[in-house]
Amino acid sequence: MTIKGKAYIAGVYEHPTRKADDKSLAQLHAEVAHGALADAGLTKADVDGYFCSGDAPGLGGLSMADYMGLELRHIDTTETGGSSYVVHVGHAAQAIAAGKCDVALITLAGRPRAEGMATGTAPRNYGAAAPDVAFEFPFGPTVVNQYAMAAMRHMHQFGTTSAQLAWIKVAASRHAQHNPHALLREVVTVEDVVSSPMVADPLHRLDCCVITDGGGAIVVTRPEIARSLKRPRVRVLGAGEAVKHQAGGKIDLTYTGAVWSGPAAFAEAAVRPADVKYVSIYDSFTITVLITLEDLGFCDKGQGGKFVADGNLISGVGRLPFNTDGGGLCNNHPANRGGLTKVVEAVRQLRGEAHPAVQVKHCDIALAHGTGGSLATRHGSATLIMERES
């Protein structure tokens, strides 16, 4: 069974806040839920499927269904870190195709800034029962120094440079200047990036994404309901998901799970990378984008540095416009989980509702990709391909 054409993204919402001192976590989830439902032209009473992940408080889906007063016949709390919400769209399409729900609501929210969280620079301990913790946590693995090891290896093996990585941040900043909600709206240069303080060799401060509060939500529904609504229709063409881990010690940091999730999504969608007009690529760090673009087939393995250089990711300038909201590098990385906002900006592009300065012309096919966890140890990859239905 395929999900192609069986489900539509009817509503999306990105919370405008970037620092939520005055709101609770559950409140943020509910605000984004109602935002996406209003965008779709639906109400809470229409929702019969709910999807959330580890950022939801308490018992996750149970606590949030209780708080929001949802009446559900389908629930899915798949946890693959920041890629969860891209996985959720695929799972929602599957559930809709199987008749398990009609209107699926996906929410994400968090307040790491208000809580003063050292998101990328403090080692995270997932508890003594995690089988890996004894063999990793003592060595001080942070998010940034683990992604940095992938960058270091890529540079060693393929000759990738810091200046090439910097172009990814430059492109994001060129887009973010047009987003009034973006945390960082200042346009930066390659020189700005490579001269910013080194955090973990070879990643500089400006190679790293922002820390923000807020969240977002997505509403997925069946074709009959989508056609009854007033919004431009965005059809789900294909989805792929994968988990990459350490393979018992056969570690290779030069690729991500996108080498599996990408081909699965392209096959289901029956499109090729060359057909894609816009991409939202998870940008926890510049290196995440570079490796993912290679893995998805937008360029050959090892050629990512050349591909992203000289503005190739800048809308209106390069061949493959990416993250036109400013992405996680400049705009927003709510709850330290960037997958949901990747889908939101892709839907804006397909609807023709991106900022005019960054709107891609004739944007009929878009791709959103999430990466959750760590490139160095274990992560979830999710690829989603969508089409504007004319």
Partner 1 sequence: MSGSGRSIPAPPVSPETKPFWDAAAAGRLLLKRCEACREPHYYPRAICPFCGSDRTTWLEASGGGAIYSYSVFRRAPVPYAIACVTLDEGPTMMTNIVDADLDALRIGQRVRVRFTPTDGGPPVPTFAPA
Residues that bind partner 1 (CB under 8 A): 121, 125, 128, 131-142, 144-146, 148-153, 156, 197-203, 246-251, 253, 376-377
Residue 289 C-beta: closest distance to partner 1, Å? 18
The stretches of the chain forming alpha helices (DSSP H) are 25-40, 61-68, 84-97, 143-158, 162-176, 190-194, 223-228, 258-269, 286-295, 304-308, 339-351
Residue 387 C-beta: closest distance to partner 1, Å? 39
* 99 versus 116: smaller Cβ distance to partner 1: 116
Residue 126 C-beta: closest distance to partner 1, Å? 11
Phi-psi region of 60 (alpha: psi -120 to 50; beta: other; left: phi over 0): left
How far is 79 from 149, CA to CA, in rounded Å?
24
Residue 336 C-beta: closest distance to partner 1, Å? 17
Residue 122 C-beta: closest distance to partner 1, Å? 10
* 180 versus 248: smaller Cβ distance to partner 1: 248
Distances (CA, A) of 333 to 75, 96, 193: 25, 28, 19
How far is 259 from 254, CA to CA, in rounded Å?
11
* 141 versus 321: smaller Cβ distance to partner 1: 141
> Which residue, among 348, 291, 325, 61, has the nearest Cα to 212 in the 3D structure?
325
Residue 285 C-beta: closest distance to partner 1, Å? 12
Are 201 and 152 in contact by the 8 Å Cβ rule? The answer is: yes
How far is 37 from 11, CA to CA, in rounded Å?
6
* 238 versus 380: smaller Cβ distance to partner 1: 380
Residue 174 C-beta: closest distance to partner 1, Å? 27
Residue 141 C-beta: closest distance to partner 1, Å? 6
Residue 117 C-beta: closest distance to partner 1, Å? 15
* 69 versus 140: smaller Cβ distance to partner 1: 140
Are 14 and 337 in contact by the 8 Å Cβ rule? The answer is: no
SS3 of residue 180 by DSSP: coil
* 321 versus 380: smaller Cβ distance to partner 1: 380
Radius of gyration, CA atoms only, the chain: 19
How far is 232 from 229, CA to CA, in rounded Å?
8
How far is 296 from 87, CA to CA, in rounded Å?
16
In three-state form (DSSP H/G/I as H, E/B as E, the rest C), the secondary structure along 278-291 is: EEEECCCEHHHHHH
CA 181 to chain centre: 17
Instruction: Report the amino acid identity of residue 312.
Output: N
Instruction: Calculate ∠ Cα 120-122-113, nearest 5°.
Output: 60
Residue 153 C-beta: closest distance to partner 1, Å? 4
* 122 versus 317: smaller Cβ distance to partner 1: 122
* 62 versus 198: smaller Cβ distance to partner 1: 198
- φ and ψ of 144, to 5 deg: -70, -40
Residue 302 C-beta: closest distance to partner 1, Å? 15
* 44 versus 255: smaller Cβ distance to partner 1: 255
* 73 versus 205: smaller Cβ distance to partner 1: 205
Burial label, 377 (beta-carbon count in 10 A; 0-12, 13-18, 19+): middle
Which pair of structure tokens corresponds to residue 367?
């791709």
> Which residue, among 27, 178, 231, has the nearest Cα to 111 in the 3D structure?
27
* 116 versus 356: smaller Cβ distance to partner 1: 116
